[in-house]
Structure formats: C-alpha cells, structure tokens
Amino acid sequence: MVGIIGSAVILGSFILSLYAFMQVKSGNTHIAHYFNFINTESLKIGFDFQVDQLSSIFLLIITGVGFLIHVYSTSYMHEEESKDFAKYFAYLNLFVFSMLLLVMGANYIIMFIGWEGVGLCSYLLIGFWFKNNHYNDAAKKAFVMNRIGDLGFLLAVFWLVSKLGTANYTDVFANVKNLTATDITGITLLLFLGATGKSAQIPLYTWLPDAMAGPTPVSALIHAATMVTAGIYMIARSNILFTMAEVTQPVIAMVGLATALLAATIALKQNDIKKVLAYSTVSQLGYMFLGLGVGAYTGAVFHVMTHAFFKALLFLGAGSVIHAMGGEQDMRNMGGLKKYMSITHLTFLLGCIAIAGIPPFSGFFSKDEILAAAFAKNPVYWVLGVLGALMTAFYMFRLYAMTFRGQFRGTHEQAHHLHESPAAITIPLSILAILAVVGGLVGIPAVFKEGGHRLEAFLQPIFAGSNDYIKAKGHSHHLSHSTEYILMAVSVLGALIALGYAWSKFSKYQKAAAEEETGLAKVLANKWYVDELYNSIIVKPVQSLGTFFNNVVEKRGIDGIVNGVGRAVNYGSRQIRLLQSGQIGTYVLLMIIGALLLFIIQLFV
Amino acid sequence: MSVTQILFWFLSLLAIGGAVMVVASRNPVHSILYLIITFFAISGHYVLLNAQFLAIVNIIVYAGAIMVLFLFVVMLMNLNAESEPPSKSKYLLYSGVIAGCSLLLIMVAAIKKSDAASQLTQLKDGEVGLISNLGKTLFTDFVFPFEISSVLFLSAMIGAVIISKKETGTETENL
Amino acid sequence: MNAIILTAVWGIIMMFGGVFFKRKSTALYWAVAGIVLVLAANFYELVNQQPFIEINVREMLHFNSFNLTFITVALASTLLYFLLSGRDIEKVGSNVSEYFALIFFVLCGVCISATFNTLLTLFLGIEIMSIPLYILTGSDKRNLKSNEAALKYFLMGSFSTGIMLMGIVFVYGGNSAGSFFIDNINLGEGKLPVLVAIGLVLLMVSMAFKVSAAPFHFWTPDVYDGAPTVFTSFMATIVKAAGFIAFIRLFEYGFGKAQTQWQVLIAIITAATLFIGNLTAVFQQSVKRMLAYSSIAQAGFMLLAIFALNDIAKEGLVLYTAAYSLASIGIFAILIRMNDYTVDGFNGLARQQPLLAAAATICLLSLTGIPLTAGFTSKFFMLLAAVKNGHHLWLVIFAVLCAAVSAYYYFRVIQAMYFKEPGADVIINGVTPAFKYLLVIVAALIIILGLFPGAITNWLHY
Amino acid sequence: MFGNYITIPHLLIFIPLITGLLTFFIKKDSSAKAWSLFSAILTFVVSFTSLLYSKDAALSGLTFNYEWLKFIGASFSVGLDGTGRLLTLLTAIAFPLIMVATYKTNYKNAAAFYGLMLLSQAGLMGVFLSLDALLFYFFWELALIPVYFLCSRWGGEKRIQATFKFFVYTFAGSLLMLVGIIYTYLQTKGTPYAEHSFSISAFHTVMLSAADQSWLFWLFFAAFAIKMPVFPFHTWQPDAYEQSPTAVTMVLSGIMVKMGLFGVIRWLLPVFPLAAIQYDNIVIGLSVIGIIYASLVAIKQDDLKRLVAYSSIAHIGLMSAALFTTKPVAIEGVMIQMFSHGINIIGLWIVIDLLEKQLGVRRISQLGGVAHKAPFLTIALLVIAFANIALPLTNAFVGELMMFNGLFQFNKWYAAVAGISIILAAVYMLNMIKNVFLGEANTLTQTVKEISLNEKIVLSVILVAIFMVGIYPQPFFDLTKESVTYITTKLK
Amino acid sequence: MPISYYIILSVALFCIGVVGVLTRRNAIIIFMCIELMLNAANLLLVAFSKMHHLALGLNFPTLASEAQVFVFFIMVVAAAEVSVGLAIIVMIYRNIHSVDINFLNRLKN
C-alpha cells in the first residue's frame, strides 16, 4: 500500500515534469515567485522556482528514474517490517522533494536548501538499518563530508551576496561583469568545493563508496543517478561564472580527471559488487567534471543523463543479483548466474556495454563528446581520459564476467534459491536497459549527422552566455571531422581490447585458495589508503585537539584561573587574618605605622 | 639667659626625664612616682605660662586624685617588677621604640619647616589664665559643655559601679 | 536639642529606675517608652525646625535637617533594637536598667557628636559615646572574653582619644583664628599650614579609629566578638553610624575646602578598609566575628561618602546608615538567639523557621547590596557620589570588586540556612510570634527603603 | 490600550511577579504547579496580544513612565520595541513549555520552586522591557537571584559550588556595569527634576568622548560577556547547566543568556558606538575563537548536558560576533536567532530530561539504541538536533545564514573560520545521535518507554515553531525591523 | 619664647607616651602613658592659647581662655576615663589575677 502511494506520487510528478518539459520545449520558461523567504533592507531571498531547459531535463531524470526505483523498491524492500517500509518510502519521497527543490530553485539559497536536504536524506537512507553502527558511521561520514562542501557553497553564496546583493540566478548572471577576477576565482573555487562534496570528487569522495551501506535502490537513485550529479547541475547552472574563471577551469578539469583515474584504478581490484559500481560512479562523475572543466557543459549534462540510465540500471541489476544471492555481495562467491536470471543478465550486459562506451550505446556518445572537448582543450586530458575509459571497460567486464559467467562459486543453500527477481524488479530493469541503449541518440555528434545533437540545441539558451563569452575571447577552435573520427576510433578500439582482455581473464575465474595481494595490487585493493590518510591527518588531530582543550585548557587553563581567583581570596584571607594577633601592642604598632604612612604622604609627598 | 628660660629648660628636662623613666622603670610604683614628677613639671610650665588655675587643677586632679587612685590600685594588686617579666621576643620593644621615635622625627621635621614655628608665645603676663576670666568663660560661653559633661560623669559612675559590683553566677559564654 | 536633653534626662530616669523596678521586664517597657518619646520629640524638631525649649548653646551645637534626620534614623533603629533584642539585654546581667541608662547616655553622645559645631563638643560627644560603651562591652563580667574586649576597647579607645586631642590642639594652634569652631578653622583652598595639616592627619586617624577603618580597625573584631552580642549589635550599628556622621561633618565643614589636599589619604584608608574587611571576613567561621569584619567592610563603603564629600554623598550616608543599621540589627537579633554562632550553626534554619530564614536572607542580601533592598540603594548612592566626585575612579572599581567578594561570606550563611541539612534538633530558641512579626517589619522596611529611598532622603531637603 | 496605568508591559512584569509571590503560600504541591502553569499561560496570552500592536514598535512603543526616583532622574519606565517584543514572546512561550514539560517531575516543596520560577520570569521580563538604565540594572540582578536559589536548592550534588561560582561571576560583572551606568549617567542631560537622567533616551543621546567610551565599553561588556557567555568568560556555564535542575537549565540557556545579547543590542551598541567599532575586531576575534573552541570541546563531552552547554556557547559566540559586525543583515540574523536558539535548546533539554527521567543517566557512553523503543522521541530529537545545526527549513538556518552573511561582509576570514563550526557542529550532534539513539539497545535502554501524550504535545509545539520560523521567518523580520534600523543608524 | 619649643616639648612627651603604650605590657602602665599623652596635649594647648592671646588678645580678650577651658574639660574627661578604666582593670585582675595584656589573647584572628 505504502509502496503504491509512494510510487504513484512520483509517477504523478513525472507526468507533471513531462508537461513542464513540453512547455519548455515549446519555448516558454518560467520563474514562479511564491513568497518572500527573507525580505529585509539588507537581504532579499524569494521562495522562487525556475523551470527552464536545464532544470526540466533534470526534472525528467529525477522523477523518471526515481519512479522506476520506487517501483523496484516496492519489491526489493518487502522483507522490511511495515513500519520501516513506510519510513523508507517517506525518506525516499523526501529525497525526491529536496532534489526537485534543488534543481527548481531560482536562487542559490533555495538550491542550498535542496542541497542540504538531499544530504540529510542520504544520511537518513544510508543509516536506514540503524542497528548496525558501521552503517551509522558511514551515514555520519557522508553527512559531515557533505557539510564540508556545503561550507564552501555557503561562503560562495555569501561572497556573491556581499558583492552583488542578490542570489537570484538571473540577477547574478546578468551582473557577472561587476565582479573582479579574484571574486570570480574565489566564488567558483568555493562553489567547486561544494560540488566536490556533493559529487564525490577528490578530496571529498571517500564517503560515496561507504555510502553503499544503504539499501541498493538508494545507492542507485541517490548515489548514482541523481544526488551526486547535483554538483554538475550547480556548475552547469552557473556556467557563465565558471567560463569566466580562467583559474578555476583547469582546476576542475584536473580534479575531475584525477578522480576519474583514481577511482578507476581502485575499481580494478574491488570484489564487492556494489563497491565496484560505487567507484565507477566516482570515476564517471570525474568525467563529467572533466567535461565542465573543459567547458563542455552540454557534454557533462548529457553524460549525467546517460550515466543516470546505465548506472541506475547497473545498480538495480546488482541489487537483483544480491537479492537472488540472499544478501551476498562478494563477486568471488558468484559466477554463472547467467542461466538462473536471464533478464537481469541481459540488462546488466547492456548496461556494461553502455558504460564501456561502445557505440551506438548511450555511454559512447556522452563520453566521446567530453573526450573530444578535452582534446580540443589539451590532448593530455584526452590521453588520460581514454586511459580511464579503458579501465572502465576492463573493470566493468571483470564485474560482468565474474558475476554471470563461469561456474557458480557460492554455497549450496545460496545455489538453491537462486531465482529470477519478480516483475516489479525486472520491468524497471528492462525500461532502463532500453534507455541505456537508445538514450545516446538525443546527442548524435555533428560528425555523423549535422544537427543531430538535439540536446545541445535544446540546452543552447542556458549556455548561450558562456558560448558568447568564449566567442568573444576567440579561442573556440573546433576539431576537424577527421581528428574526431580518429579519436573515436582509438577510444572505442581501446575499450574493445580492454573488454576482451577482461573477458578472457575472468570468464573462467576460479576462487584461489588465498590470494594475498602484493605491491600495487595491495595498494589498489586498499583504495590507496586514502581513508587511513584522512584519518591520521584530520580526524585524529581534531579529536586530540578537542581532548587537549577539554582536559587542559578548559579545566587547568581558563577554569583554573577563575577558580584560582577564588582560591587566592581564600588564601589571602587566611594570611591577612593573622594580622589580628590579639595583642594590643601589635595593634597599636600597626596603627602608628599607618599614621606614619599618612603623615609622610600628607606632609612630604 | 633669663630666669624664665632657665626655668623653662629645667622644667622641660624634668618633664621629659620623668616621662622617660615612667616608660623605662620596671616597677609600677616607681613609674607612678615618675609620672607625678612629670605632672609637677607640667604644672610648673602652666605657672610659667601664667595659667595658675590650670596649674592648680593639674596638681589637684592629676597629681593628687588620679595618680593616688593609680597608686592605690597598684598597691591593691601589689604589682612589682616581677609582675611584668621581660617578654622573650624583643621585636615589639624595638619596633615600638623605633616607631615612636620616627613619629617624633616626622612631626618635628614638619614643624621645623613651618612658618608658625617662629611665632612667639606669651609667658609671664597675659590675664587669660586667671580663675576670674576662666570662671566667667566657663559659666557663660561654656555652660552647655559644662552641663553635658555631667552626663559623662554619670555614665562613668554607673559604669564603675556595675563593673565592680559582684556578679553572682558562674562564667557564661556567648551572650 | 530635644533629643540631647531627653536622652540625658531619660538616662537618669532609667538609672534611678534600677532602684524601683521590681521586675526586670519593667525596665524594658520604660526604655521603649522613653525612646518613643525621644523619637517623637526629635521628629517634632525635625518637622518644625525648632526645639521645645530654646537653649543658648553659644553655637556649640548646630542643628539642621541633615543631622536631625540622622538622629531620627538612629533613634528609630534604637527603638527597633530595643523591641527585637530588649529581652536579651535582660539576660546579660543583673542590673538591667543601668544598661538601658548607659544606652541612653550613649544616644545622648550620638546626638551631640552628630550636631557638634566646635571641636570641644565633638570631643565631648565622642567621649560620652565611648565611655558607656567600654562598660557595656565588659558588662558580662564573668566572661573572660567580655573582660578582655572591654580592656582592649578601653585602652585603644583612650589611646585614640589622646591622638584626637593632639589633633585638636594642632588644628587650634595652626589656624590663625585661634578658635575651635569648625567653620572658623575652615581655611579655604590654600595650602594648609603645617600645624593644621598635622592636626588633620591626627584627627583623621582618630576618627578612622572610631569608625573602624583600616589600618585603625584592629580593635573592632575583638571587641565586637568579645562583647555581649546584644551590645555588639548596638555598637556595630548606631554608634558606628554616629561616628561616620561626626567624621563627615568634621571633614566637610572643617576641612572641606581643602579637600584635594587630603583626599588621597581617605582614598587609601578606604581602599585598605574595603580590602581588609572583605578579605578577612571570607575565612571567618563564627558568624558573629564575620559580621564584625563585615561591619569593617561596610565602613569602607561609607568612607566613600567622606571621600566624595558632596550632597549625594551626604544623602547616601544617611541612607546607608539606615540600611546598614536595619540589616545588621535584624541579623544580630537572630544571631543572639542561636545556640551555635558558627556558620554551620545556621544549617537548615530554613526548615525550622522559614520566616526567620527569609528575614535573615533579606538582611543579608541587603548587606550584600542586591537590588530591591536598601543595601543596594545606599551602595548605589555611594558609588554615584564617588564617581561624581571625579577623582580616583580606580577606588570605585576596587570598591565594586570588593562588594563582589562580600557576596562570598554573606551567601555562605544563606547557603547554610537553605541548602544544608540541620545539625542540632533545635538551633534557635526564644522565638516568639512578636519577634517574628518584628523581623518581618524589618525586612519590609528594608525593601521599602530599597524601592523608595526618598522616604529618608527627602527629609534632608526638608 | 487598557488605560494609562495597566499597559501590556506592566502585565508582563506584574502577572508573574504577583502570582509568583502568591505561589509561596500555596500548601499543596499539585495546586502550586497548576497555579503557576496558569499564570505562565496568562502571561503568554498577554504577550501574544502585544504582537497585535506591532505597528508602533519604536522604543516609545507601548511605554509607560512613572517618576520613580525623581531627584536622581530615575523612572520606572517600561516599553516594548521589536526586540523586546521578540524576547518577551520567547520568555512567555518558554515558561509554559518548560512547566508542562517538567510537569511530571515532583520537586519537593514545589510551591517555593514554582514561585521562584515565576519571579525569575518577572525579572527577565523586566530586563527586556525596562527603558531606564537603573531599572534595567535592577531587573538584571533580580532575574539572577531566584535562579540562584533554584539551582542551589534543587540542583545536582555539586550544585552549591557551581551555582555560587555562577552567581559571584555574574554579580561581579554586573557591578562593573553599574559603575559604567553611573559614569554614563553623570554625562547625561538632565530632567526637569534632576540634573541627570537614567532614561534610555538620555543614554542614547549622551555625548561621550571616544576616550570615555573606550573604557566604559569594557565595563558594560564585562557584564554582558559573562552573561552570554563569550570565551573566555564561559567556564561558569557548563557547570551551572550540569548542576541545576533541568527546568532551570532551560530558563538559563533558553532565555537568560539572551540577556547578554539583549544588553548589547539595547545598551552597548547604541550608547558606545565609537568603542563598539573601535573594538569590533577584539570582540569578534574572541567570539570566533570561542565558537571553534567550544565546538571542539563539545566533541569530547560525555555528559549530554555539558555537550549542549558547549554547543550553546558556540552558538552564542556566533551571535555576539555577528552583533559586533554592526552589519544590519547580521543584526537581523541575531534577532531571529535569539528566538530560534531559545526554542531549539529548550527542545534539546526537554528530550534530555525525558531520557534522564526514564533512565536516570546522562552519560552518552551509557546510552544507545533508544530509537527502537521511543521512535517519536527520536524523531523529535532528530528534528531539533538538525535545527540546532542549522539545516535549511529549520529556524536556526535563517539566522545563521544572515549572521554568517554579515560576518562575511565584515571579514571573509572570520566567516571562513567560524564556518568550520557548522562542520564541527554536525560532528558532535551526529555523534550524540548515533551513540544515544541509534545502534543496538543495551540492557539499560531496553527499558525505555515511548513518551506520554503531554510530552508529545510539548515537543510537537516546539517542532511546529521550528518549522514555522524556518519556512516563513518574515514576520519576525517585520517585528524587529525598526529596532535594527535604529541601531544601525546609531552606529553610522 | 618661640612656640616651637613648646611644640617640640609636648610632641616629645606625646611620643614617649606612645612608646610606652607600644612597649609596656602592664595595663596600668599603658594607661598611665595614655594619661601622659593627654597631658602633653594639655600643655601644648595652653601654650597655643597664650600664643593666640599674644597675637589676637587685643581684639578678642576672652579668645585664648577658651583653650584653657578646653584643658579643663580634658581633665574632666580624663578623670572619668580613669574611674572607668581602673574599674575594668580591677575586674580583669579579679578574673585572671594579672594585668599583663599578653595574657589577653582569647580574641584573635
């Protein structure tokens, strides 16, 4: 019942956003002012919503994928007792609400409200099974790291407000020219810090893999399809700022690229099926930031969309596998599931191909667009990007092969109830699979078909400012078709090779007795020890500083002084009262001395 | 140096010497006798200042009544040199002497640099000190203090009585 | 004038009363009657600005609304004192009516030293005030503490008398007018002649002694501690107040114009008094002794009036004497009836006698100077006067910090009464309903004065 | 209004005062409770009606003036401006909430307890209403005394020392302020009756040289800084909160600390604008240090009360920093935050109190897994906690947004450093939530029961307030607009 | 005769008295020293009176006599004090059979 309501609501909003999309498509975007959130002489924040091309795309993704995942959840979560089941859907809907708030807000404050709202929901959903304290820690980690990003976001907003006196997109983007270079650099860097938090980029990415503690549909919706793309949305939204920020763009590109590679390398050696997908998500997000960094905003958004499709698909597929395996997540104990769960297998395979970037699947188009732009900016980017692509292909097919090919390596009772998942699971899988296959066709690059890139055309008004700016600057050199062909060929070919290698290596995978990782492999298996690093350079010092303040500064230092005064008074009292010796002689003597003092002061000073 | 000056110096030395002995001598009885000497010297000064009335009163009241009363009390308690054994710690003694001397020093030093010091005082002549004048002043201008000092005497009298009256009962605490 | 005559006369009546009264309590009734009479007479004089019978005192006394108001306050507090603690005076010794007689003589001295106009009457007034007190201090003859206190008080008191006389002599010798009248010896802003300066210092020392200001306060704790508590209560309040009135009168009319030349001395004395009084009180275990030190501390605050020496200071001083006397009399009245004078003796008083505890608390709060009580208003006036005077602001800061310290020892008693468990079964005895009501009245008066200090100060401008 | 002699300010002061005094004479504990609750609600109604007159919200708003001490120019004049209305409203809301929330706890000798509570309410009202420096000082102390008795009579085992420290500390501070008041008073212009005047208008128009301001400022600041408290004057607070009975802790932390901020708003900034600007860096620096310091210390606290105490220090630090930026946006933020902080922290105390009443412990390390047995309590706590760390759409967000904004305008780096506190706040709050409510229930927390109806009602009221302010704060801005503009013009 | 002689003389007497009070422990002696101080004051007062008489006697014939009357009153007071003081001392002696003030230290601190 609850599930139906929950899903129905989202379906409704999906239909509405379709309607909104049609409206926008027919060219009338709209900003709706509801009421004044804050309205004082010094600060005016309206509770305004804005529906334009960018937000409508995201609306579709969120509500669409969201709806599918709701449906999926109705079956996936049915073991939960009804109370928790209801709670789960409540959280999920709350998440969709905040996400919509985020993308529909017409100023940075409303966006921030959604921004933190989704953080909250991710916190709640990661820690959904709150009996387990590891999950709670993961949830806490996610929230705190997001908070770090949020601080950057806030400061950026303050900066904007203090310079321009407003946080409305329209006003801000209209008055960008009033900002000095330092302002823009600072603002964009801070915004980017916010993005790294939300979208799991270096240095704040470590929460995302841990976030897999949550239920798998949550990982699919929040930690793959929607929330983590908020950062991309935000930067795409304020693209004009970033286009003008000469300093920031390379930073974004490099960080994105580094993240893509780092995460890819880690993914190579993970055995937890969800962990692999998590790192692949991080890596894909890295690509998106690369795209943003090189000014390929459309490409980034495009990749967001396609990624939403196939990554959601992959996660849900993984979920269906885990479901079948009775909660088992270690790929080493899987294998040969092909014959038990055909639909899952098929859809999963499609997803893998899509993400590996094999034409004409969706992943190919979006990733290729980004890579092309990267090449245009700086060939090195492209080389590294392709390297990452190869790794992607490799680990995805490693995953696929270990899971579905070869012999089943699990226990017997697992083998017993291996079964295909119910319709509520398979239908969303199929739909997403279709999208993953065809989704790329909205953005066919010009080399194949002039004007084939409908998405670009659609989003054109959003990025017009940036494009004009670049034109004005005059360094917008397009690649010749031939180079583009070559680039594509290289990347696709590489991908195929990597794919084949993975296939050959893992389709006959057997569990070795005790495979002790060594050297680089060990490092990768342990995720480059980044968590440990953070722990030792940030968490530990903060903790010990707190202890120091609490035990030393507070008790001995400040409070010590305060109490010390009291003790001093007591001590002084005990000493002074000894003057009162009881002897008249002493008394008179002291009196005389006092009198002498007065005499001296009066007569000789 | 005129007779008066000689007298002045003699009396002054007598007074100071007596005073010192009052403080110095161990035996209370001696102290009292020295004090009487001092008082006589002071009375002599009064005469010298032509204040006969005060001179007489001083001798009658002080040297006569008061000191006799003292003497009587001392005799009653038969105090003697042993009644006040020298205390172990001498610091109070020394510091006391030092303090007193420095007080003297400071005052004298101050007076030395004051112009008032040069002012003269009138010795032999000057009628103010005579009983007739004083009596007149006392019973005209000073009638109120004169009357009110009776209150002083009354209270002193009552005090003396209730203090020295024998109280019945044992030692009490905390009243 | 009325007050002086009547107190003297009534003192004599009480003295002879000792012969005729059959029962101890009769003396109390007569005493109360007498004080009421005197109070009325003095109030009449205050209102009409003239006594029943004009006596030509040759300007040796000077009556104005200021000192008449003060006398009224003093007499009123004495009345309260009689009503609250009269019964306890009877417990001191066999000859009750003589004690009352002495108290009346003291009051006579109070009146004189509040209205003196020449150094002679000052001297006489102070003496008339002091000599009966020597006796009252020693009145508990079997109690060695009392004896000791009496002797200490007497010796040091007469020593200070000697100093005062020397001071008077120098002032007399120093001023060219050759007169004892305090407004004749007021020489104006010019540099004081050395002789007068010496005299001034000596007078300041002796007055400081009388009001127990440091470093001339040493007699106070011992004497207040040793004396029978009833009389301590009297000494610590009314007599000390009179001392202050004399002090300010002498230094305002006598040396007011040359204030800048001796102000620093008063500043030092004030600071020392506040410091020693408050600090030493902190450690005391016996409430009686603690109150003795607190009286020194309060004296420090009153000294601010002499430091400031302006109209507000005088208003404030009268107010302060009233507030301080009220509170102290109240707290002493309770203390007298306690079995155990230590702070722990008060443990759990609130459980046994909530009303008493409440009254005591109000008195203590007033002594601490918490708003809504007279104590605050008077302290406030003192600070106001001192700040208005404009010099030595450090003294004011120092004073308030000391006031904060004073909270320490006053609140120890409050804590004992309210937050500690009672030790003995009965910790206070002889609590009659009348006693309670009187305490309530005292508390009420404290609050009223705290809200409407005008009730007193208006009379000053009458 | 209701004639010239009974104005709303009077009702606000005298209803609690008189009812409080009467309470002492009630014999039965239960009836004492009921009676005081009734009075508190009555006060709330009155203060609520005062909002209806929010148009004439200048300092001369709903004033009444009675020549109290003519001859020194002090008068019993009380009035409501925007700020006052906000804080009196807070006081008026808080007391009924507190009383209902602690209705179950039976304080022995309840009559005295509730009497003192009401008296302290009267004192607080007076502080927020008085338009006369001397009167202000009066109430400033009067609010303190009942709390002193409450804490050291009904508090924990170390109550007497803790409370006494608190008392002497604040007393010393306020005495310094008294000296400051007097000195300033002597510089004011007179009234027809007296050469000087204590009235707020006289104080706000007094001409003080920069030199005078620069030391008078510290006399006043001492009192306010101790009351708020600003680092490093804060050490009385954790002990006091820990030791005093929860009802009183709520009053202390919910309302009393606002006295300090209010003092700054009403007296310090308008009277010593030059000094305020001269020393802004010192004060803000201290506050910012305090924010980080307190947050770090809070992370290490094991006692729930101490945790909340330190978090409160951090929040107050932010408010004081924002005040001294003298940026209008920041001051508006402070205004609304004073209200929000009061609501949130009282909510936290209520939850803690409910736990302590059930389990008898406050140590985080001894708790855990409460959520299983008491979902409503947990949800309430979650909301309040997230409000406390300023999550959007909760009340604290609005305030902190604006305060940080102002701080940023004043100096980027202060804002950046202070901003770290929102991360640390998340850390200690989530730690607390995790260790107390989540995880497996231990033997002790097995026994937790869901809370009763009236407790649910109280908490729901608080939640409603949280969201109301968080989603539609505008009314509060309208309420305090005049006062803010007034101050900022003063500071020009 | 310059007044300073008299001043110094009586100041000397006064200070000797002070020293006595400081150094002696016998209550009676201390008391006597106090009397000495009073007398020093008296002497100086008379001297001053004659000084003023010399200075202003022509205009105010009775002026100087005030001082001497004052002396008279001082003696009166002294007498009263003595009666009380000795009574107290006797009382003490009755109780502790000594007049040594060092034995009087029950009250201290």
Residues of chain E with Cβ-Cβ distance to B117 below 8 Å are 2-4, 7
Express each pLDDT in A398-414 by its tens digit: 988 888 888 888 788 77
Residue A130's pLDDT band (cuts 50, 70, 90):
confident
The number of C-alpha atoms within 13 Å of C361 and in the hemisphere containing its C-beta is 20
Interface test with A, best of E14, E15, E16, E18 (most A CBs within 10 A): E18
What single DSSP character describes residue D68? E
Residue A168's DSSP bridge partners are A107
Q: How far is B11 from chain E (nearest CA, A)?
A: 10
User: What's the residue count for chain B?
Assistant: 175
Look at residue E26 and give its three-state secondary structure. Answer: strand
Q: How far is D85 from chain C (nearest CA, A)?
A: 25
Amino acid, single-letter form, for residue E66: E
User: What's the residue count for chain C?
Assistant: 462
Chain E contact partners (≥3 CB pairs within 8 A): A, B, C
Interface test with C, best of A589, A597, A602 (most C CBs within 10 A): A602
Residues of chain C with Cβ-Cβ distance to A597 below 8 Å are 268
Helix axes C433-451, C65-92, angle to 10 degrees: 160
Whether residues E80 and B32 touch (CB distance < 8 A) is answered with no
The per-residue pLDDT for B36 is 93
Whether residues E18 and B99 touch (CB distance < 8 A) is answered with yes
Express each pLDDT in A253-308 by its tens digit: 999 999 999 999 998 888 888 999 999 999 999 999 999 998 889 999 999 999 99
Residues D352, D358, D360: CA angle, nearest 5 degrees: 75
Residue ranges of E strands in A40-104: 44-51
Residue D336's DSSP bridge partners are none
Look at residue E100 and give its three-state secondary structure. Answer: strand
Per the CB < 8 A criterion, the answer to whether C313 and C305 are in contact is: yes
Whether residues E62 and B133 touch (CB distance < 8 A) is answered with yes
Left, alpha or beta for A134 (phi > 0: left; psi -120 to 50: alpha)?
alpha
Q: Going residue by residue through chain C (462 aa), what tens digit of pLDDT does each one get? A: 899 999 999 999 999 988 888 887 889 999 999 999 999 999 999 998 888 888 888 889 999 999 999 999 999 999 999 999 988 888 888 888 999 999 999 999 999 999 999 999 999 999 999 999 999 999 988 888 999 999 999 999 999 999 999 999 999 988 888 889 988 887 777 788 888 999 999 999 999 999 999 889 999 999 999 999 999 999 999 999 999 999 999 999 989 888 888 999 999 999 999 999 999 999 899 999 999 999 999 999 999 999 999 888 999 999 999 999 999 999 999 999 888 888 888 888 888 888 999 999 999 999 999 988 999 999 999 999 999 998 899 999 999 999 999 999 999 999 999 988 887 677 788 888 999 999 999 999 999 999 988 888 888 876
Q: Would an 8 Å CB–CB cutoff place D141 in contact with chain C?
A: yes
What single DSSP character describes residue A566? H
Whether residues A130 and D401 touch (CB distance < 8 A) is answered with no
Per the CB < 8 A criterion, the answer to whether B22 and B31 are in contact is: yes
Chunked into runs of 10 residues, chain D (492 residues) has average pLDDT values of: 62 90 89 91 88 55 67 84 86 91 84 92 92 91 91 87 90 93 89 82 88 92 92 88 90 91 92 91 94 93 91 93 91 92 92 87 86 87 92 91 92 92 92 89 82 87 92 88 86 80
Q: Count of CB contacts below 8 A, A vs D?
A: 135
List CB contacts of D488: < 8 A, sequence separation 6 or more: D326, D328, D331
d(CA D8, CA C2): 51
Per the CB < 8 A criterion, the answer to whether C253 and C181 are in contact is: no
The per-residue pLDDT for D455 is 85
The per-residue pLDDT for A414 is 78
CA-nearest residue to A164 within chain D is D409
User: What's the residue count for chain A?
Assistant: 605
User: Which phi and psi (to 5°) does residue C51 adopt?
Assistant: -75, 175
Q: What is the dihedral of CA C395, C400, C403, C408, to 10 degrees?
A: -120
Sign of CA dihedral A142, A146, A147, A148: positive
What token pair was written down for A376? 């245009």
Whether residues A586 and B92 touch (CB distance < 8 A) is answered with yes
What's chain C's Rg over C-alpha atoms?
21
Whether residues E101 and A583 touch (CB distance < 8 A) is answered with yes
CA-nearest residue to D470 within chain A is A37
Residue ranges of E strands in A534-586: none
Helix (H) or strand (E) holding A30: strand A30-39
Q: How far is E66 from chain B (nearest CA, A)?
A: 7
Q: How far is C220 from chain A (nearest CA, A)?
A: 10
Interface of A with C in 46-85 (CB under 8 A): none
Whether residues C131 and B162 touch (CB distance < 8 A) is answered with no
Interface test with C, best of A562, A571, A573 (most C CBs within 10 A): A573
Whether residues E109 and A589 touch (CB distance < 8 A) is answered with no
What token pair was written down for A113? 């409200």
Residues D53, D458, D449: CA angle, nearest 5 degrees: 175
The per-residue pLDDT for A337 is 83
Per the CB < 8 A criterion, the answer to whether B127 and B53 are in contact is: no
CB-based burial, A536-574: b 16+ in 10 Å, e otherwise: eeeeeebeebbeebbeebbeeebbeebeeebeebeebbe
d(CA B7, CA B43): 12
d(CA D332, CA D482): 10
Residues D108, D113, D118: CA angle, nearest 5 degrees: 160
What token pair was written down for D73? 């120019």
CA-nearest residue to A35 within chain D is D472
Q: Would an 8 Å CB–CB cutoff place B112 in contact with chain C?
A: no
Per the CB < 8 A criterion, the answer to whether C313 and C221 are in contact is: no
Express each pLDDT in D372-409 by its tens digit: 888 888 999 999 999 999 998 899 999 999 999 999 99
Q: For chain C, give the secondary structure using H, E and C.
A: CHHHHHHHHHHHHHHHHHHHCCCHHHHHHHHHHHHHHHHHHHHHHHHHCCCCCCCCCCCCECCCHHHHHHHHHHHHHHHHHHHHHHHHHHHHCCCHHHHHHHHHHHHHHHHHHHHECEHHHHHHHHHHHHHHHHHHHCCCCCCHHHHHHHHHHHHHHHHHHHHHHHHHHHHHHHCCCCCCECCCCCCCCCCCCHHHHHHHHHHHHHHHHHCCCCCCCCHHHHHHHHCCHHHHHHHHHHHHHHHHHHHHHHHHHHCHHHHHHHHHHHHHHHHHHHHHHHHHHHHCCEHHHHHHHHHHHHHHHHHHHHHHCCHHHHHHHHHHHHHHHHHHHHHHHHHHCECCCEHHHHCCHHHHCHHHHHHHHHHHHHHHCCCCCHHHHHHHHHHHHHHHHCCCHHHHHHHHHHHHHHHHHHHHHHHHHHHCCCCCCCCECCCCHHHHHHHHHHHHHHHHHHHCCHHHHHHHCC
Interface of C with B in 218-247 (CB under 8 A): 228-230
List CB contacts of D11: < 8 A, sequence separation 6 or more: D43, D46
Q: Would an 8 Å CB–CB cutoff place A581 in contact with chain E?
A: yes
Whether residues A550 and D328 touch (CB distance < 8 A) is answered with no
Q: What is the dihedral of CA D3, D8, D10, D12, to 10 degrees?
A: 160
Chain A contact partners (≥3 CB pairs within 8 A): B, C, D, E
Per the CB < 8 A criterion, the answer to whether A554 and D236 are in contact is: no
Residue B173's pLDDT band (cuts 50, 70, 90):
very low
As for the ipTM of the complex, it is: 0.91
Whether residues B161 and C98 touch (CB distance < 8 A) is answered with yes
Do the two chains E and D touch, given a threshold of 8 Å on CB pairs and at least 3 pairs?
Answer: no
Amino acid, single-letter form, for residue D48: F
Interface of E with B in 15-34 (CB under 8 A): 15-20, 22-26, 28-29, 31-33
Residues of chain A with Cβ-Cβ distance to C214 below 8 Å are 594
Q: Quote the distance between the C-alpha of residue A407 and its chain's center.
A: 36
User: What's the residue count for chain E?
Assistant: 109
List CB contacts of C295: < 8 A, sequence separation 6 or more: C212, C220, C224, C236, C240, C277, C328
Q: Would an 8 Å CB–CB cutoff place A580 in contact with chain C?
A: yes
Which one of A582, A588, A589 has the shortest CB-CB distance to E108? A582
Taking chain E, what is the end-to-end CA distance rounded to the nearest angstrom?
50
Complete DSSP assignment for D284-310: HHHHHHHHHHHHHHHHT--BHHHHHHH
Whether residues A549 and D412 touch (CB distance < 8 A) is answered with no
Q: Count of CB contacts below 8 A, A vs E?
A: 28
List CB contacts of A554: < 8 A, sequence separation 6 or more: D235, D297
Q: Quote the distance between the C-alpha of residue A107 and its chain's center.
A: 21
Look at residue A49 and give its three-state secondary structure. Answer: strand
Taking chain B, what is the end-to-end CA distance rounded to the nearest angstrom?
65
Task: For residue A32, count other CB atoms closer than 10 A to its CB.
Answer: 12
The per-residue pLDDT for D342 is 92
Q: Would an 8 Å CB–CB cutoff place E92 in contact with chain A?
A: no
What single DSSP character describes residue A250? H
Output A37 or C423, whichever has higher pLDDT: A37
Name the burial class of residue B78, with classes exposed (0-12), middle (13-18) and buried (19+) by CB atoms within 10 angstroms of its CB: exposed
Chain D contact partners (≥3 CB pairs within 8 A): A, C
Residue C116's DSSP bridge partners are C61
Express each pLDDT in A489-517 by its tens digit: 888 898 899 888 888 888 777 766 566 66
